[in-house]
A and B are shown apart, each in its own frame.
Chain A
């Protein structure tokens, strides 16, 4: 190596920036796309939206950053202690001389990314009370109009219409067509729920799709759908058609049906049942009224019968009166006869005691005329007085000739 050459190299010394730039170039050539597994620690998420963290394993650690544009696409919340798989590049942050992993994607290890995101979203919505039983609204008993948010091409709409019209032919159905899978499906479903609310004619909304793989149901796990269901003033039935895993839509919805068919079954009653219920009530009304009238007739009849009672009472009284009079008369007669007998007895007795009886022995009574006073003393008489003599049989009138003193 010549000194000239050495001098040349000395004169060709790099500036720090040049060196840093060359290191950057080398790193990016060799580590332009790396996959690295590590645990997140020291996570910072400032307002800028970039994520800063340290990625480490048992013995080593590297600085990591994920810029806003990528961080926004994350479907889960990175957190300290979480093991992640990162795809990115390695480069030098020349302003600080820091070697950093620039993450483009990040997914959790262990739990699948979607699963973790789902669990995290579930936990968040549950904490907000969106799944609470007391939020569940009752379904209308007999909705005249049912709104359906689903794809027009699927089996779901066919099943729903078949059941609805089988059970309840007089139900209006408004379908708000949406994608149910793929990018943007969640936003569309949410918009469909909003539209049916705003349109204002449906009384209840069914959202759903036929069965699919777990991934096919992603749209029904999106937060925007959960929010739309929670915000809906119309009750929402989720019919996501996956009986094993409950989607978030199932959890937020007011009612959950295992399939679109089942949703259609719970949303309307069987029309013919209602119809016969009304008819039965109409018959009951008529027959009850008839019975009421019949009963009333009976009552009137009974009352009319009771109204004749006073006459009967008078008759009875009259009869009693007659009997009483009869008894009174009999009693009186009996008493009368008794009295008469008594009088006769007394008369006989009296007769036996009568002084007149003495007359039978030849005595006579002398009474003055007039005066009819019994004369017991001759001195009371004077010559010429008339007297009446009473004998045991008959009387006679006499004139006094002489009074012996």
Chain B
């Protein structure tokens, strides 16, 4: 199963719950049950990735004179590194 990268976490979670329920009902043909299981495994991996894909970052959004956005890491107590992306 291919999961689009922009799939929402909660949709994925709902799909996974649906698969578990379908499997649990036990009336799936074997092929379909195996497929459901494999899809479920893919979903679990996807959801786990989603849960950790964004690194903790706090940025400050600014705009220069030409209207370009810049984000700069906000210095907090925990971290004091600086980076910039245009």
Contacts and interface: CB of A to CB of B under 8 A. Distances in A.
Given A141-B10, A285-B16, A173 B59 contact: yes
Point out which of B26, B54, B58 has the most chain A C-beta atoms below 10 A from its C-beta: B58
B64 interface: no
Interface residues of A, number: 37
A254 to B, nearest CB: 18
B59 A175 contact: yes
Contacts of B44: 278, 281-282, 285
Contact of B20 (A165, A195, A271, A281): A281
Given A169-B56, A274-B51, A289 B10 contact: no
B8 A142 contact: yes
B77 to A, nearest CB: 9
B73 to A, nearest CB: 11
Contacts of A144: 53-54
Contacts of B33: 289, 292
Contact of A274 (B9, B23, B37): B9
Contacts of A274: 9, 13, 51
Contact of B59 (A170, A174, A292, A295): A174
A122 interface: no
Interface residues of B, number: 38
A277 B9 CA distance: 12
Contact of B13 (A147, A174, A277): A277
A195 B63 CA distance: 8
A87 interface: no
A285 B9 CA distance: 18
B1 interface: no
Interface of B: 8-10, 13, 16-17, 19-20, 23-24, 26, 28, 30, 33, 37, 40-41, 44, 47-48, 50-63, 69, 71, 74, 76
24 contacts: A141-B10, A142-B50, A145-B54, A147-B61, A170-B51, A170-B53, A170-B56, A171-B54, A172-B58, A173-B57, A173-B74, A175-B61, A177-B60, A177-B62, A274-B51, A281-B40, A282-B16, A282-B40, A282-B44, A284-B20, A285-B23, A285-B37, A291-B24, A295-B26
